[in-house]
Amino acid sequence: MLIDKGAVKGDTGRAPAHFYESARAGMRDLLTRGPVPHDSRDGVLLPGYIGWSAREGSGVFDPVRESRRSFDFYRLHEDLSVDLDDLERALATGRFQYVVVIRYFGRLNTDMRKVRELTDAVGAVLVEDLAHGFFSSMRTPAASAGHVAVYSLHKQFAMSDGGMVVYRDAALLCDQRSTRPDLAAEVLSYDWTQISDLRRRNFELIRAELIKRSHDGVTLMWPELEAGEVPQTLPVLLDSADRDLVYEDMNAAGFGMVTLYHTLIAEARGKDATIERIARTIINFPVHQDVDPRRIPALIAAFEAAVERRSGGKR
Ligand SMILES: Cc1ncc(COP(=O)(O)O)c(C=O)c1O
């Protein structure tokens, strides 16, 4: 046939997806059952902002530690985008098989094509951590350029667990195995556009309220939502109030704020004053699809009161 009646090749546009109970389980599968490392080049290069909690451990770092590979960190800018110069410097050591770029909060503020040029130049595999960015990546596929994309499904959908690893470069598949193929049906049972729109709407509503009231000591980390970005949370920095106490007050008042990441992993501490400050002062508003917009005024009022109460003369 010159032109077949239907598609026949099977590999056009194909990016095999593997499903797990969590993103970290998928990352562990890649690091331990994926391509065998070269002797002096087994390393994983990671961004300098990685957290830990007693309850959850470190979703990013635990699989790296468990793989017993060497690791190091590259620097990030204040908006948590990749410092490309520092990434290039680190890659020049020739120690890394994998480079991880995290799309913090689902924000697409790093030019992934530039990162890919740098990783290709040294033959490293680019892993795009989209744990917070499932919807950003589905809405804006052109922003992704990794060989592999890692997703945390339970952070984006109302699911109790779930992770997905998509191999855009199928040559990286060796002995990796899906452990939760049932989750594919779950993910396909949702309207991704509707959820994306709700998340963007909630972000815009909270952002507008925060800008309107514009407090000293409350800085929007993500001032503008670009077209195609779908937020996981809305992060702000609290420079005057005690962040931990504001967090406690808000949750006690019934508003599910989080702090990503309140505590850096020990390995990433003491390297960058800006990153330390972010970890100390960040607090994240919920913008997920189940936020009732009628409750946003009360959320903002409670936040203002908590910031006021917990500023302790610092403002
Ligand atoms: C950026 C990032 N990547 C990966 C993970 C791991 O996600 P999961 O809880 O699905 O293992 C987390 C959360 O722990 C995360 O914040």
Looking at residue 38, its pLDDT comes to 79
C-alpha 33/C-alpha 256 separation (Å) is 37
pLDDT given for residue 215 in this prediction? 79
Domains 17-187 and 192-309 share a fold: no
* Coil vs helix vs strand at 291: coil
Show the low-confidence residues of the chain (pLDDT under 50): 315
Find, among 102, 180, 162, the residue nearest to 137 by Cα: 102
Dump pLDDT digits (tens) for 155-183.
999 999 999 999 999 999 999 999 999 99
Q: Where are the domains of the chain?
A: 17-187, 192-309
pLDDT, tens only, 143-155: 999 999 999 999 9
For residue 33, count other CB atoms closer than 10 A to its CB.
13
Residue of the nearest CA to atom 5 in ligand 1? 59
For residue 228, count other CB atoms closer than 10 A to its CB: 17
What's the confidence (pLDDT) of residue 32?
97
57 CA → ligand 1 middle, Å: 10
Q: Whose CA is nearest to atom 12 of ligand 1?
A: 59
Give the count of beta carbons closer than 10 Å to the beta carbon of residue 202.
Answer: 23
Q: How far is the CA of 106 from the centre of ligand 1 (A)?
A: 12
CATH architecture of the domain formed by 192-309: Alpha-Beta Complex (3.90)
pLDDT computed for residue 213 by the predictor: 84
Question: CATH number for the 17-187 domain, one of 3.40.50.2300, 3.40.640.10, 3.10.580.10, 3.40.190.10?
Answer: 3.40.640.10
pLDDT for 313: 58
Task: For residue 261, give the ligand 1 atom closest to its CA.
Answer: 16
Residues with CB under 6 A from ligand 1: 22-24, 56, 59-60, 102, 129, 131-132, 152, 154, 163
